[in-house]
Structure 1
Amino acid sequence: MASHMPANYAEDRLHRYLAHWTRDSSNVSKLDVAAITWASEEERRERQRKYCQVGSDYYDLVTPLYEQGWGQQFHYTPITPGLSIRESMTAYEKTFAGLARLEKDMRILDLGCGIGGPARTIASTIGCKIVGITNNAWHVERGTVLTREAGLDSLVTLLQGDFLKLPFPDESFDAAYSVESLCYAPNPADVYREIKRVLKPGSPFTFHDFAMTENFDEGIPDHQDMAFRSSPAPWFFGPAGDIWWAWKMPGWPDFWKVFKMWDPFRGCAHVIYRLMILLGMCPPEVSTLMDTMWYCTKSVAIGGRMGIFTPMYVFVCRKPGAGEE
């Protein structure tokens, strides 16, 4: 089995990504909170212009860490009673396939497929053919290996490309979906135009993505926040490091995963990394990486606890059929 760590996983990946988020690219050994939180309009436009490179550099850096610490499915999920986080993700992917109107023998496009975790679940459950697209070369390489090992290479194909410039002919897919990926587009409307182009008339498109919740109206049936399905544990207990919920699950299947997000563990880990940096055992950028990932996961958990953010906003759409507006 191929390692989840690329052969060239090294300091240059840290420098390439962290340089996007600092005003002093010669020094990425300290988290530049001002550049991240109070970015100027010019800085934001520059990052949007380089969206493909920023996204690819990010996933070059974190994909091995995600797979090692979270699994092959890079998304949040409502927690199903009695199931672990991983089992809940698989169960949710099957539910999502139903919401997305995905059926056997369809040719389906997965936008922002990562290493193909959801695509493998859906394809093996339904018997459909899925083409996943990602802008990251390592996603394709690693995901193709995992797909072959799962015996699903006849159903799932992963390709490198830009979802703003899809490399497919018009009306070539029966359905399309995305899971926590369109939020990275500089202008989602551009992605929607491309999706409409490659879908056959009348075909469904469904996305599950990050969203703020101020305008969510529970009375509108077309709007679905799947976070409300999480029970009894809140969906954010993992990134929040809430070991109480992890401890309640029989067999403790999520305990170590959640323990690594726990504040006291993070504090100890920070001291250890600082000591390793002092002794020359790892580069200073590693501390910046840990701080960055901690900043992200804690922000997600805080937003979920406050009820102002959801990573599971689901919208089911359909390309107009022939003769429809």
Structure 2
Amino acid sequence: MASHRPPNYNEVRLHNYVRHWNRTPDLTVVDHDAVAWATEEERQERQKKYGQVARDYYDLTSPILEQGWFSSFHFAPMVPGLSIEESMIAYEQLYAKMARLKKGMRVLDLGCGVGGPARVIAAETGANIVGLTNSDWHVERGTAMTKKAGLDHLITFVKGDYMKLPFPDESFDAAYSIEALCYAPDPILAYREIQRVLKPGAPFTLHDFAMTEKFDESIPEHRKVRNWIEFGNGMTKLAWVPSMREALKGAGFEVIREEDVQLRSAPMPWYFAPAGNIWWAWRTPGWTDFWKVFKMWMPFRNVVQNIYRLRYYVGLEPKESSSLFDMMWYCPKGCATGAAMGIFTPMYLFICEKPAKKKA
């Protein structure tokens, strides 16, 4: 059985990430109680370090995500007759149309990852895309993959923080973000920065993780699932849809349309894969998809977890191997559970526009 660890994995990466959550000094394990029942004070402390938390998360998980998922680090609604990857590409192509992106436009991709969506969108539209990320690894890997795809004349990668964009006022024709602005500790400040660098009348399209209007902070189970999602995805403050709506308006954007895109998924819910639902998996074409889902099936996960624990006890694996496997489980576990409860969506869509300047 091949190791789930990438070749360049370093145990220190796990320590760097779990230290933001653990209450115990032992960084070789995940403090599950601290994750599930994080206090508001602990969450606020993490929000002060949102950039470092996100960098530590992606330094740890990016190679694993690319290896185990795809180069597009997001979810998408399933399309009848298409595989998971094909459904993601189809959604990215549709997203480009909804975002009104066209050839020759200078477009800002906020939180671009290794550029999976940017490559699909650039190939589809011919737009010139500037991908922004706070990860050196994303810039290096994204640049290499984009050059290999023959799209480096359309896409460039820049390291920076979207809370303080390294671009002049009114320098972009459009902007979009796919599951990235959910890392902002204060969305309205991020939205204001985006509004600043957009030209008057420019579109801004947002597809993001969010707690739905059904989320109730007073219900412990809701908070626990929200905390799982934050830990499993390197987030410090997962936004609530009504707050996002008000923040966009408060930042000066006109909200043209909004939609919970997860409701488009058919014939199966999008979260059948992260939930490890093998009874839905056979309805997607190809054994590759079935294997991806099977690896997240709880009985299979438990067997593999026990194998890594045994290997640790006999000295063949470091203790962190089992803990990394544990930590990575929180993303699919939290997202699938929250979506099934109706309190979470990884794909809430806002289509916005910066108002055009009034004529004198």
CA shift at 1:8, angstroms?
A: 4.8
**Number of the residue aligned with 2:45:** 46
Matched, 1:15 2:15: yes
CA shift at 1:286, angstroms?
A: 2.1
Q: 1:230-245 alignment to 2 at 5 Å?
A: 230-245=265-280
1:300 to 335, 353, 359: 335
**Number of the residue aligned with 1:284:** 319
SS at 2:323 equivalent:
helix
SS at 2:329 equivalent:
helix
1:122-145 Cα distance to aligned partner (Å, 9 max, x none): 001100010011111111111111
CA shift at 1:248, angstroms?
A: 2.2
Equivalent AA in structure 1 for residue 209 of structure 2: F
The two structures have a TM-score, normalised by structure 1, of 0.93
Judge conservation of contact 1:30–1:288 (CA < 8 Å) in 2: yes
Q: Which moved more, 1:284-293 or 1:180-189?
A: 284-293
Report the CA distance shift for 1:181/1:237 in structure 2 as closer, same or farther (over 3 A). same
CA shift at 1:228, angstroms?
A: 1.3
**Number of the residue aligned with 1:92:** 91
CA shift at 1:187, angstroms?
A: 0.3
Matched, 1:268 2:267: no
1:223-257 Cα distance to aligned partner (Å, 9 max, x none): 21111111101100110001122222233330111
1:311 to 346, 351, 354: 346
SS at 2:321 equivalent:
helix
Matched, 1:182 2:217: no
Residues matched between the structures, number: 317
1:130-172 Cα distance to aligned partner (Å, 9 max, x none): 0011111111111111001000000011111111011111100
- Name structure 1 gaps, 5 residues minimum: none
1:84-139 Cα distance to aligned partner (Å, 9 max, x none): 00000000001111111111110000000000000000001100010011111111
Equivalent AA in structure 2 for residue 270 of structure 1: Q
**Number of the residue aligned with 2:286:** 251
Judge conservation of contact 2:123–2:151 (CA < 8 Å) in 1: yes
Q: 1:23-102 alignment to 2 at 5 Å?
A: 23-24=23-24, 26-102=25-101
Q: How far apart in 1 are the matches of 2:169 and 2:203?
A: 15
SS at 1:79 equivalent:
coil
SS at 1:254 equivalent:
helix
Equivalent AA in structure 2 for residue 58 of structure 1: Y
**Number of the residue aligned with 1:130:** 129
**Number of the residue aligned with 1:119:** 118
Q: Which moved more, 1:163-172 or 1:275-284?
A: 275-284
Q: Which moved more, 1:70-79 or 1:13-22?
A: 13-22
Equivalent AA in structure 1 for residue 100 of structure 2: R
Q: How far apart in 2 are the matches of 1:273 and 1:232?
A: 36
CA shift at 1:282, angstroms?
A: 2.0
Q: How far apart in 2 are the matches of 1:6 and 1:323?
A: 54
Q: How far apart in 1 are the matches of 2:288 and 2:8?
A: 31
Q: Which moved more, 1:266-275 or 1:7-16?
A: 7-16
CA shift at 1:221, angstroms?
A: 7.6
Judge conservation of contact 1:246–1:252 (CA < 8 Å) in 2: no
Matched, 1:158 2:193: no
- Name structure 2 gaps, 5 residues minimum: 215-240, 243-254
Q: How far apart in 1 are the matches of 2:211 and 2:70?
A: 26
CA shift at 1:181, angstroms?
A: 0.7
Judge conservation of contact 2:30–2:323 (CA < 8 Å) in 1: yes
Equivalent AA in structure 2 for residue 11 of structure 1: E
Identity of aligned residues (%): 61
* Cα RMSD after superposing both structures: 1.8
Matched, 1:214 2:213: yes
Report the CA distance shift for 1:289/1:233 in structure 2 as closer, same or farther (over 3 A). same
Judge conservation of contact 1:29–1:287 (CA < 8 Å) in 2: no
